[in-house]
Chain A
Amino acid sequence: MSQTFSLAAAEQVVPASGLAGSAWLLIALPALGALVLLVGGRRTNAWGHLLGIATVVASFAIGIALFFDSGSSQVQEAKLFSWINVNALNVDFGLRIDPLSITFVLLITGVGSLIHIYSVGYMADDDGRRRFFGYLNLFVAAMLILVLGNSFVTLYLGWEGVGLASYLLIGWYQNRPSAATAAKKAFLMNRVGDVGLAVAIFLLFKNLGTTQYTEVFARVGELSPATVTAITILLLLGACGKSGQFPLQAWLPDAMEGPTPVSALIHAATMVTAGVYLIARANPIYNLSADGRLVVVIIGAITLLIGCVIGCAYDDIKKVLAYSTVSQIGYMILAVGLGPFGYALGIMHLVAHGFFKAGLFLGAGSVMHAMKDEVDMRKYGGLWRIMPITFGTFLLGYLALIGIPPFSGFFTKDAIIAAAFGQEGWRAWVFGGAALLGAGLTAFYMTRLVLMTFFGKQRWKELKAEDGSDFHPHEAKSVMTIPMIILAIGSVGAGFFFTSGDRFVTWLAPSLQPLQEVEHGVLSHGMIQILVIGLSVLGVLLAWLIVGRKDVPVVKPARVSPVVRATRADLYGNHLNEALVARPGTWLARALVYVDNKGVDGLVNGIAASFGGSSGRLRRLQTGFVRSYALSMLASGILVVAALLMVRFS
């Protein structure tokens, strides 16, 4: 890439004072909640969920206060204590409070509060509700460490901490084998990414002797270009694991085995966007490597298309939303890969997505709740009449996601597509085109979802639930609908608020540097807007032609084209994992167990036996063990004495 960026002047960091000095409470409150709920046991059953909500709401209140604090537009640091300290390696448990981290604090605790409240209703019949809130609190605490930590190691602490919470919650129904397997798969694929993050940290320590953001960012220019590019790609590997990006995307759809509030909070709004956070946070490193950014953009573009395409094929409402998440995070990754043209756009889309996707998942949860946990959309139909609030809020989230003006997705996604078209040469057409195509596909699969769920014939009337009873869909309780309404309002308003007068982008500037506007793209901005809206409308129409015009068959058609078959099989991603990693791994383990028992052990026993004269001797040693033991002690005693004498007289 020919564009070059001047290194930003060393950032101004001030010690946290006043309100920012008590930012540790943000983390401590939900951590305390988790501790009480998980250690307290059954005694806390009665009020556990209330404590769980209270700690997150309190953190949210502190976050709001921080946002309005005069110092919020600066970069502030607070060292809490020295964590790992050996000579040159000094890792503090420290916090970095700046516009980027405050943005995430508000998203995590804000959406987190709503989902905690919703869960009171959703999990009301679950015996383990108290423990569920304990895990949710644990997640919030770990996620806050991830975004507030002031070094790559504290980030890593939060990074694996949220991975643990995710593991526990995906496997919530742990006596269901599919849930247990999905949880394990998520953890393992995340660890693959974590190795990337870990090695990046090793490189930083070796070359700069530090892992703290301010010091790394100030001195990253000293590194050789190859090292910088290596670090960017290793960090990207970490981001791919956590954010379900190609080639580590397969765990995220499986993660839908968890309860729906978990899917909304962890696997849509917050944790899975951590990869975007990581790249945006490391922007001074990515600024120095055009190659590294190119790889990021390529991964983002591939993933957004994979997500869209597979999303078109599923009948499981949560899986469609999950692939939608994969694809939308693809947009964000693409955006932050554009460097100074896109960091702020990626974060903007991330926040908007956090609102509308959380809302969509809560809506899906409400539908599932009404439909006895049935997730197959072919069994839904015509639910808008019965669940008007769920339908209304879902519709607003839908409009925001497919990017119909004036809803939030339009502003944020449109900006990313325009920035992609602002690249130079072939990149403009390839990445801009991919993002544009994705917008059309998004409109298609989401319209399909809405039509199959809320419109058409009420197909469930003639069907039975899994337990053999009839379906009696009903609107959810207000403890569930109110969070949905609030998120829907957020979906409507957020995008407009973000872009009006570039307020948000300007506010983020201390963390991400000012956003560089694309000056002369291959297409004018007006043209891009027309194309985005045109393709989206086309997608909507197509979906209507296929599933809206006529009745949806209750059993999915078996005779389909190879393309549909491939998409139904996740484009064979899982088959590939199975064939390349899982099966050879199992065989290797079995083979080595055999070798270790027969070969290595046999060899060593053989050598030992030949020392003893014969294998028969060894067997005798083993049988008459007490006598032999005495004998060998005697022998070694004689040896000792002999050796001592030898030395004495030598």
Chain B
Amino acid sequence: MNFSSAPMAAGTSSGGAAYLLALLLLPLLGGIVVAFLKDDRMAKLTALTVSLVELALVIPAWITFVPNGSRIQLALSVDWIPAFGVHFSLGIDGIALTMIALIGVLTPIVIGGSWADKLPEGRGAAGFYSLLLVMQTGMVGVFAATDVFLFYVFFEAVLVPMYFLVGRFGGPRRQYAAMKFFLYSLLGGLIMLASVIGLYVVSADYNNGVGTLDWQTLSNVMDQAPLSTQIWLFLGFFVAFAIKAPLVPLHTWLPDATAEAPIGTGVLLVGVLDKIGTFGFLRYCLPLFPAASQELAPLVLVLSVLGLIYGAILATGQNDMKRLMAYISIAHFGFIGLGIFAFSTQSIAGSALYMVNHGLATGMLFLVVGMVIARGDSRLISDYGGLSKVTPLLAGLFLFGGLAALSLPGTNSFVSEFLVLVGSYPNAPVYAILGAVGMILAAAYVLWAYQRVFQGPVRGNALVGVAGGPGAATDPAKVGISDLGVREKVVLAPLVILIIFLGFYPAPVLDVLQPTVDATLQSVGLADPVGGK
């Protein structure tokens, strides 16, 4: 089947669409069920089961997807608001597929990682896990929507569970952080909405007088729009996306939200939710507004590289481990932005792969940070020291996650960072070199944090009473600081395996991404700077 030329007729579906629909609806149904469970343990087990079934569903979807087939696959479409040509249309390309797979992998891990979390007074596990599952539906929906309006709906809908997850289950300043997150996102969303409406209006001029919000149709016709129109529409989408995958200076909500969010929620926030922004660049900004993308690329490149350096420098200066995770992510989003707007298939493929790899690597580091905090009951680096002597395995895994975050070759992140930089160099040499300098800073923030928390003599307020530490009780077991337990090992093991495996053999993901990446660059109307035709 070939959908690349004609929009899909309403009420149709293509092969495997059922899998996609199931992937979208299962977590929502699961979330509703979990919400009514009284028993905490029952709620956790049900949520875990649902998330594992969801992960299993990714497999047939992955197999059904033909990398070199048409752009959007597993598609289905039904009429929704006929008056405005709005359809409930789902479908995925290679990038969306890998993101949905990432969600599938991360959700059960996050549930396992949150298993022993102490929730705030008076909050039950049912609410937490129910919201987590509902948010999963929202996340899948964002990546699976092929109607611009449907995308907008999911884009806003995903805010709601996140808002409550931070605001009800987060740290001491959770209400402030949740509101800040919400206001920023809402502002972005409203600006985008204006662009969505504008897009509908403008599209009529190039689509035989019929306004449309079908992505496929729009991507075929919008390149005819004049540059000025494209720029206005581009900016509306861009601001929303630049808030989501925060580019400096729109980033300040992220450290607050990340710091106050429960660990598991934080992992999904930086690992998946923020990628909606970079996904938006790839799916909406580039193909729908090709001329504007080219015109404004220098602006985005500057912001990206600024974020890459600025985020990294700020990361070295953090004393709060969770804020550190946020600034590391800001630096990494800089790399992703650089790759997307450097316009080569290598750099764009690198960015798309980075979106997956950052979720795995930073996700792992974030979970390990959570395990440190669970033991010391403090987020502050200065409350720790010499922890490797007490918990060597935890220390080793923090370092492992950190090495993946600084893109050491042999870990998955190296492949994506290398692709971004080597692919950016031909079109944007100065930015690529600045990005390479960011590699030094990455080593600095990771290793310095590791040194302060884990190396040196045992010290710090969080470790008072630990063997050899200040206060000096003699038996670590007595003061409750022990090395990783079975649950924690099981939670981290899949991430360790994936990080190494994709570091040496990224082909399974790259092969899925590449046709979509090629099509994305083509839609901008540019040829590859090296070896392009």
Contact = CB atoms under 8 A, between A and B. Distances in A.
Nearest to A91: B418
A650 B433 contact: no
Interface stretch (A4-12, A371-379, A590-598): A590-598
Interface in B352-406: 386, 388-389, 403
Interface of B: 83-84, 156, 163, 167, 175-176, 178-180, 182-184, 186-187, 189-190, 193-194, 197, 200-201, 211, 248-252, 310, 313-314, 316-318, 345-346, 349-350, 386, 388-389, 403, 408-410, 414-415, 418-419, 421-423, 425-426, 429, 432-433, 436-437, 439-440, 443-444, 447-448, 451, 454-458, 504-507, 510, 514, 517-518, 528-532
6 A-B pairs closest in CB distance: A88-B531, A589-B317, A180-B455, A202-B425, A601-B252, A593-B317
Contact of A209 (B440, B447, B451, B530): B530
**For the side of the interface on A, what is the size category?**
35 or more
A86 B447 contact: no
A194 B439 contact: yes
A87 B528 CA distance: 9
Interface string A614-650: 0000000111010011001000100110011011101
15 contacts: A84-B415, A86-B349, A87-B346, A88-B346, A175-B458, A180-B451, A181-B451, A183-B447, A199-B425, A206-B529, A592-B313, A593-B318, A600-B252, A605-B252, A648-B84
Contacts of A153: 418
A171 B318 contact: no
Interface stretch (A47-55, A154-162, A304-312): A154-162
A157 B414 CA distance: 9
A219 to B, nearest CB: 14
A632 B436 CA distance: 43
A86 B314 contact: no
Contacts of A88: 346, 528, 530-532
Contacts of A625: 167, 175, 178-179
Nearest to A189: B440
A608 interface: yes
Interface of A: 81-89, 93, 153, 156-157, 159-161, 164, 167, 171, 174-177, 180-181, 183-184, 187-188, 191-192, 194-195, 198-199, 201-203, 205-206, 209, 585, 588-590, 592-593, 596, 600-601, 603-605, 608, 611, 621-623, 625, 628-629, 632, 636, 639-640, 643-644, 646-648, 650
Given A82-B507, A629-B179, 4 more contacts: A195-B436, A202-B421, A589-B313, A600-B249
Contacts of B451: 180-181, 184
Contacts of A600: 248-249, 251-252
A215 B501 CA distance: 28
A194 to B, nearest CB: 7
Given A209-B531, A593-B318, A643 B193 contact: yes
Most chain B CB neighbours (cut-off 10 Å) among A85, A86, A209, A605? A86
A645 B410 CA distance: 55
**Binding site secondary structure of chain A:** helix
B386 A205 contact: no
B183 A621 contact: yes
Given A157-B409, A175-B456, A184 B448 contact: yes
A164 B197 contact: no
Contacts of A588: 313
A89 B252 contact: no
Contacts of A89: 346, 419, 422-423, 530
B310 A592 contact: yes
B193 A640 contact: yes
A19 B403 CA distance: 35
A93 B187 CA distance: 47
Contacts of B314: 589, 592-593, 596
Contacts of B505: 81, 83
Nearest to B182: A629
A101 B505 CA distance: 24
A195 B422 contact: no
A89 B83 CA distance: 48
B530 A636 contact: no
Contact of A188 (B182, B310, B403, B443): B443
A640 B196 CA distance: 11
Given A82-B507, A175-B458, A596-B252, A608 B83 contact: no
A85 B422 CA distance: 12
A650 B83 contact: no
A628 B186 CA distance: 13
Nearest to A643: B197
Given A164-B403, A199-B433, A644-B84, A87 B425 contact: no
B319 to A, nearest CB: 9
A176 B451 CA distance: 11
Given A180-B451, A639-B190, A643-B197, A195 B530 contact: no
Contacts of A644: 84, 197
B189 to A, nearest CB: 7
A159 B211 CA distance: 56
Given A86-B510, A600-B249, A206 B426 contact: yes
B197 A647 contact: yes
Contacts of B458: 175
Contacts of A596: 252, 314
A85 B175 contact: no
The residue in A164, A589, A643 that gathers the most chain B C-beta atoms within 10 A of its C-beta is: A589
Contact of A86 (B346, B455, B504): B346
A601 B180 CA distance: 11
Given A174-B455, A589-B316, A593-B314, A206 B443 contact: no
A644 to B, nearest CB: 7
B408 A164 contact: yes
A636 to B, nearest CB: 6
A87 B436 contact: no
B250 A160 contact: no
A160 B409 contact: yes
A636 B192 CA distance: 12
Nearest to A179: B455
B436 A199 contact: yes
A87 B409 contact: no
Contacts of A84: 415, 418-419, 506, 510
A604 B506 contact: no
Contacts of A622: 175-176, 179
A643 B455 contact: no
Contact of A87 (B175, B310, B531): B531
Contacts of B197: 643-644, 646-647
A191 B252 CA distance: 29
Given A85-B507, A593-B314, A629-B182, A192 B440 contact: yes
B389 A175 contact: yes
Contacts of B386: 175
Contacts of B510: 84-86
A604 B409 contact: no
A256 B510 CA distance: 42
Nearest to A597: B252
A647 B410 CA distance: 53
Given A192-B440, A590-B317, A201 B84 contact: no
A604 B249 contact: yes
Given A85-B507, A88-B528, A592-B313, A177 B346 contact: no
A88 B514 CA distance: 12
A628 B179 CA distance: 10
Query: Which residue among B83, B186, B443, B448 has the maximum number of chain A CB atoms within 10 Å of its CB?
Result: B443
Contacts of B313: 588-589, 592
Given A84-B419, A153-B418, A174-B454, A636 B190 contact: yes
Given A174-B454, A205-B425, A621-B179, A198 B439 contact: yes
Contact of A177 (B194, B457, B532): B457
Contacts of A192: 440
B422 A205 contact: yes
B424 to A, nearest CB: 8
A329 to B, nearest CB: 23
